[in-house]
Homo-oligomer: A and B are copies of this chain.
C-alpha cells in the first residue's frame, strides 16, 4: 500500500537512505521535516543551517518543514507538527534509525498519539550492508561533525567512500556513526536532481564536538 509520507530529515546519510528506500517501496513523499534549535539558527545534532537543508529539499523537489524547540519543548513541538501532517492527509513518517531502541520507542509513542504510521527502512540491518548500499548507489556524504572523544578532526571534510569506511572500522569506530560518533551532510545522490554546490569553511568547536562549516558556493 502506497502511503503519502513525511521524512525525518537530518541532512545526512541515514535519513537520505531511509528516504530512498521508502520511495523505492512506492511511498509518496510530501515533505521533509527537520527540528532546529530554538533560535532557528541550526538544525539539531547535525548543526546545519537552514540554507543547506533548503537547498537539499529543493533538489529533492520537496518542501522543508522546520520545527523549533529547546530540548524541554522538543516533544510538544514535534507532536504539534505530526498533528499538522496528519490533518493534511499524510499517513506516515519515515525515520533513519538503525538500532537506537529508545529513539524508535519515542517515535512510535509520539506518532501513535496523532495516529501517524511509522516506517524505519533501515531498522536492525547490518551496518556494513547499509554503507555498501550508500556507496553503490552513489550517494555522496561528507563528514561534517565529529565527536572528538571518539573520532579525530582529520575526518572532517572526508567523503564517505569504501576507503573511509575501512579506515573508521580499522580504528574501532562504528562506520555508521549511529551513536553520534560523527554526522554527515549529503551533497549528492540518486534522490537529488543535481548536486549541492557546497564549500566548507572553518571548524567550529563546541565542547567535544567539532563541526565543519557547510556553505553554499553561490551567495549566502
Q: Which residue of B lies closest to A5 (CB)?
A: B61
Cβ contacts under 8 Å, A28 to chain B: 61-63
Query: How near does chain B come to A88, taking the closest CB pair, in angstroms?
Result: 10
Asked if B29 contacts A61 (CB within 8 A), the reply is: yes
Interchain CB contact under 8 A, B24 and A194: yes
Question: Is A191 engaged at the interface, CB distance under 8 Å to the other chain?
Answer: yes
Copies per complex of this chain: 2
Q: Which of A87-113 contact B (CB under 8 A)?
A: none
Complex Cα–Cα for A62 and B27 (A): 8
Residue A67, interface by CB 8 Å: no
Shortest A217–chain B CB gap in Å is 15
> Which positions 194-218 of chain A face chain B at CB distance < 8 Å?
194
A50, B61: Cα distance in complex, Å = 23
CB-based nearest B residue for A26: B58
Inside 8 A of A27's CB, which chain B residues have their CB? 61
Q: Which residues of B contact A155 (CB under 8 A)?
A: none
How far does the Cβ of A167 sit from chain B's closest Cβ, in whole Å?
29
Please state if A193 and B191 are interface contacts (CB–CB under 8 Å).
yes
Minimum C-beta distance from A130 to chain B (A): 16
Inter-subunit contact A20/B190 (CB<8 Å): no
CA A193 to CA B63, docked complex, whole Å: 18
* Alpha-carbon distance A118/B216, docked complex (angstroms): 30
CB contact between A58 and one of B20, B23, B190 (< 8 Å): that residue: B23
Instruction: List, in ascending order, chain B residues with CB within 8 A of A194's CB.
Output: 24, 137, 190
Q: List 18 A-B contacts (CB under 8 A).
A: A20-B193, A23-B58, A23-B59, A23-B61, A23-B193, A24-B58, A24-B194, A26-B58, A27-B61, A28-B61, A28-B62, A28-B63, A29-B61, A61-B61, A137-B194, A190-B192, A190-B194, A191-B193
